[in-house]
């Protein structure tokens, strides 16, 4: 088994810590939704604002979007129709469980794609001006941003 490149190992560590592994920064994305009831996930801080469930699905979508850029997968292959934000209404336990499972699947899929990268891939540009390393760093930051947002929503709703 080949040794993993140091930069690639760091990107995987950042991705893991932002999603579901212990880190000094506090609650990660998966930890932020642990134990959240369907009713709490569906509660909106104000009319027209996103709820925790919508944020979780939004995060799954952007993990998928980065995965697609890394792998060249066909656009429009996300599990749900649409993009970016997916309306979630009500407090259906089954749908909330499915959304959490979707988030876990898309994270695992993304992590696998990152682990399969060659070190030379990290400096390659995806579509646009960002490198592959930038995209992976960005999706980890995205997870942490929304983890903090969810932590606040749990306190105010």
For the cut 80, the answer to whether the pLDDT of residue 130 exceeds it is yes
- Between CA 134 and CA 50 the distance in angstroms is 27
pLDDT band for position 4 (cuts 50, 70, 90): low
> Could you give the C-alpha distances from 62 to 35, 56, 76, 135, in angstroms and in order?
23, 10, 13, 10
**Which of 117, 89, 136 is closest to 5 using CA atoms?**
117
Model confidence at 1, pLDDT cuts 50, 70, 90, reads: very low
Residue 112 in tokens: 């696998």
Contact assessment for residue 145 and residue 27, using Cβ atoms and an 8 Å cutoff: no
Share of the chain above pLDDT 70, in %: 97
What is the distance between the alpha carbons of residues 10 and 7, in angstroms, rounded to a whole number? Answer: 5
Cα angle for residues 152, 144, 142 (degrees, 5° grid): 115
For the cut 60, the answer to whether the pLDDT of residue 125 exceeds it is yes
Domain ranges, ordered by start, for the chain: 6-156
- Place 116 in a pLDDT band, splitting at 50, 70 and 90: very high
Question: What does the pLDDT look like over 102-113, one tens digit per residue?
Answer: 999 999 999 999
Q: What is the mean pLDDT of residues 6-11?
A: 94
| CATH label, 6-156, candidates 3.40.50.300, 1.20.1420.30, 3.40.250.10, 1.20.120.450 | 1.20.120.450
Please check the confidence at residue 101 and state whether its pLDDT lies above 70: yes
Written as six digits, the tokens of 101 are: 């499972």
Lowest mean per-residue pLDDT among 31-35, 43-47, 87-91: 87-91
Query: 67 pLDDT exceeds 80?
Result: yes
**What local confidence, expressed as pLDDT, does residue 90 receive?**
83
**Is the separation of the CB atoms in 66 and 135 below 8 Å?**
yes
Within 13 Å and on the Cβ side, how many CA atoms surround 50? 16
Q: Are 19 and 114 in contact (CB under 8 A)?
A: no
CA-closest candidate to residue 157, choices 54, 86, 85, 59: 54
Q: Does residue 56 register a pLDDT over 80?
A: yes
Q: 61-77 b/e with 16+ CB inside 10 Å = b? A: bbbbbbbbbbeeeeeee
Confidence bin at 75 (pLDDT 50/70/90): confident
Please say if the pLDDT value at position 155 is more than 80: yes
């Amino acid at each position: 088994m080949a040794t993993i490149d140091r930069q690639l190992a760091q990107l995987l560590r950042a991705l893991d810590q932002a999603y579901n592994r212990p880190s000094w920064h506090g609650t990660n994305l998966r930890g932020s939704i642990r134990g959240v009831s369907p009713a709490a996930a569906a509660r909106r801080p104000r009319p027209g604002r996103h709820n925790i469930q919508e944020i979780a699905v939004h995060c799954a979508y952007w993990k998928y979007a980065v995965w697609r850029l890394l792998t060249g997968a066909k656009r429009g292959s996300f599990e749900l129709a649409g993009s970016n934000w997916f309306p979630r209404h009500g407090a259906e336990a089954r749908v909330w469980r499915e959304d959490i499972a979707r988030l876990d699947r898309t994270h695992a899929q993304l992590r696998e794609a990152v682990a399969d990268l060659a070190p030379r891939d990290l400096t390659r540009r995806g579509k646009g001006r960002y490198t592959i390393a930038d995209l992976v760093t960005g999706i980890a930051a995205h997870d942490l941003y929304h983890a903090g947002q969810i932590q606040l929503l749990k306190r105010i709703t």
